[in-house]
Structure 1
Amino acid sequence: MARKKGRDINGWLIVDKPAGVGSTAVVAKVRWALDAKKAGHAGTLDPDATGVLAVALGEATKTVATITDALKCYDFTVNWGAETTTDDASGQVVRRSDARPDRAAILAALPAFIGDIMQVPPAFSAVKVDGERAYDLAREGEELDLAARPLWVDSLDLLECDQDSARFQMVCGKGGYVRSIARDLGRALGCLGHVAHLRRTWSGPFDLDGAVPFERIDREAQDWLDTQLLPLETALTDLPMLRATPEGAVRIRNGNPGQVTGTADWGDLVWVADAKGPVCIGRYQGGTVQPERVFNL
């Protein structure tokens, strides 16, 4: 079998994604610019959305789930008075309303969207329906009845508003659709609404301060891009870190439970390191760790 081409690069490149570019296209360009063997991303952004897109390279792809599960922050603007097919400004208007909410009404409506809520994804989303993506079925004109899904909303704050729009900041968990929040908030206020602008400002430990502008991603900038890479373990800051003994590290790298120093609660997800660097992500079992993801560094 032919060897996969590309450089062995392990780490994270945080990209400030512009509007009009899909998340998959961003990953492809990063992989091309860095000539990386393997790349992926943690948390899709809609093509019209901007902001933090965390791109994992090499062994860092084994840590993607930790970022996907982490809290994320969105800054977004909702335009009142119209509901669209896509729940954002790119869709066709399907309903209109002359009603407009005042600041007091918006603030009164927000508590219902905070905490553990149930959310119906937009019809134009990557949710699978009988093995097919909802957006593919929606483009074919099929009427979809998507099931509501649980979502944790840590906070939802009104930043500013005028007669026709309002700007919010939301911190939420995995699987949140800002477009659904805009749609449902517009319905709750009796005025209808859709997302006009959406920007992700941070995702887990990654934020815009360390993000590379998309337009700077080019093979001619490869040396500079190398200096912008964050270590693989940056994604693991929310997990307890334990140290493997020399013998334990060997066992873990072979896929077996290995001895560690330090403690955690039985069954906790932890990450393990030794003098060489990260060893694995695994479950603590009272003095040993059962590896789930072993890093080949």
Structure 2
Amino acid sequence: MARRGKKKGRPISGWVVFDKPHGMGSTDAVAKIKWLFKADKAGHAGTLDPLASGMLPIALGEATKTVPYVMDGAKVYRFTVTWGEERSTDDLEGVATKTSDHCPTDDQVRALMPKYTGVIMQTPPQFSAIKIAGERAYDLAREGETVDIPEREVEIGRLDLIEWLDERRTVFEVECGKGTYVRSLARDMGRDLGCFGHISELRRVEVEPFTPDELVTLEELEAASALAVPVGDADDEGRIIDPRTERERFSAIDALMVDTGAALDCMPQVSVSDDAAVKIRLGNPVIVRGRDAPVEAEEACVTARGRLVAIGAIEAGMFKPKRVFAGR
């Protein structure tokens, strides 16, 4: 008789818009959230450095299928550049490699900023996750190697100067696309200004399509998770008896999730009947109906009773599923 596998976690789905604290790595954050929710599966949409804080969207369960759509979304960062020193990591973690007594003026910084908006070429930091000949750049850098990382094209929607904290520290806000390194932005601006610079504080404010209002802190999640601890008397084998269902026990922390479909606000949405949803989940195409239903769409998602059913293409009024989602 085959041995039954141990239950790995709850089959829940949704997004946790986590306000990652300073000092926590992205992988550690995912593991923590997965444990708090007792989820069977989890992943994040875009690494956030340990020294950075702010929005780290974490997908649970079926929501992991929508991670690529969040990865492609615009991101907003609030960051402080300290002038006069360039560091090996382009942030506070590294050692100083170049120094200058020069401090830029407000006029000089503002005159430079247009150079760093729009589509620009950027070289990622030596300490980055970029792969060089199959190895991560940060692994090579830690071994003392100087890595030749090629430039790549990135897009910066806007770059705003927020305030001067003092003559050596300037606060900026940037809206940028996938693959942009804010550390490289600070490094390159410092070089152009002839004074060098590095990131001394970094916070991710927003990741499209999520908003700051949806952020939840570690403290909030831990408090809600504590409410799910079983209570009651023990049975003869020492197991705790809890009269509540699993859904009731985890209702407080589950309420902090954002619906899986929120990640797909960027694409056309089509509502279908329960019968059509069953066919789609089996991989079958269906005709989409309704006054606002598109006739053609390279990508669209269908829902039934407000729940995500599938992502696919619409051709001549026919929805053809490419990725389906469980009905739970």
Shorter-chain TM range is: over 0.9
- Specify the SS of the correspondent of 2:110: helix
User: Percent sequence identity over matched residues?
Assistant: 46
Equivalent of 2:194 in 182, 190, 197: 190
Distance change >3 Å, CA 4–CA 137, structure 1 → 2: farther
Equivalent residue for 1:153? Answer: 156
Give the corresponding residue for 2:271.
243
Deviation at 1:212, TM superposition (A): 1.5
- What is the distance in 2 between the residues matched to 1:123 and 1:4? 42
The question of 1:170 aligning with 2:148 is answered no
Q: Is there any run of 5+ residues in structure 1 with no aligned partner, and where?
A: none
1:1-297 to structure 2, matched below 5 A, reads 2=5, 4-161=7-164, 162-218=166-222, 219-222=225-228, 223=250, 224-244=252-272, 248-261=276-289, 262-264=292-294, 266-275=296-305, 277-297=307-327
**Of the two, which has the highest radius of gyration?**
2
Contact persistence 1:52–1:200 (CA under 8 A): yes
- 1:89·1:194 contact (CA, 8 Å) conserved in 2? yes
CA deviations over 1:106-127 (Å, ceiling 9, x no partner): 1111111111111111111111
Alpha-carbon deviations, 1:13-32, whole Å to 9, x = none?
Answer: 11111111101101101110
How far apart are residue 246 of structure 1 and its match? 5.3
**Is contact 1:107–1:158 with CA below 8 Å preserved after alignment?**
yes
Distance in 1 of aligned mates of 2:45 and 2:135: 21
Separation in structure 2 between the aligned mates of residue 249 and residue 71 of structure 1, nearest angstrom: 31
1:56–1:289: structure 2 CA closer, same or farther, 3 Å change rule? same
Gaps of 5+ in 2: 229-249
CA distance in 1, matches of 2:150, 2:316: 40
- Per chain length, whose mean CA-contact separation is higher, i.e. which structure has more relative contact order (CA < 8 Å, sep 6+)? 1
Once the two structures are TM-superposed, the CA of residue 7 in structure 1 deviates from its matched residue by 0.6
How far 1:142 moved relative to its partner? 1.0
What's the offset of the Cα at 1:230? 1.1
Q: Are the aligned partners of 2:79 and 2:201 in contact in 1 as well (CA < 8 Å)?
A: yes
Letter in 2 for 1:193: G
Task: Measure how far apart 1:3 and its partner are.
Answer: 5.5
CA offset at residue 244 of structure 1? 3.2
Partner secondary structure for residue 33 of structure 1: helix
Higher alpha-carbon deviation: 62-71 or 285-294? 285-294
More displaced stretch, 277-286 vs 10-19 = 277-286
Between the two proteins, the alignment pairs up a number of residues equal to 297
**What CA deviation, in whole Å up to 9, does each residue of 1:52-78 have, x standing for no partner?**
111111111111111110111100000
Instruction: Please say if residues 295 and 318 of structure 2, whose CA atoms lie closer than 8 Å, have aligned partners that are also in contact.
Output: no
Deviations 1:163-205 (Å, cap 9, x if unpaired)?
1011000011111111011111111111111000000111112
Q: 2:238 matched to which residue of 1? A: none
Distance in 2, matches of 1:187 and 1:264, equals 50
User: CA separation in 2, counterparts of 1:142 and 1:157?
Assistant: 35
Change beyond 3 A, Cα 1:193–1:235: same
Q: Is the 8 Å Cα contact of residues 161 and 171 (structure 2) preserved in structure 1?
A: yes
Counterpart Cα distance in 1 of 2:313 and 2:151: 31
Indicate if the aligned counterparts of 1:247 and 1:258 stay in contact, CA closer than 8 A.
Answer: no
Q: 1:244, 1:258 within 8 Å by CA — same for their partners in 2? A: no
Runs of 4+ more than 6 Å apart: none
Q: Which moved more, 1:275-284 or 1:226-235?
A: 275-284
TM-score (norm 2): 0.86
Describe the shift of the 1:246–1:32 C-alpha distance in structure 2 as closer, same or farther (beyond 3 A): closer
Offset at residue 4 of structure 1 (A): 4.7
Distance 1:141 1:220, change over 3 A: same
One-letter amino acid of the counterpart of residue 44, structure 1? T
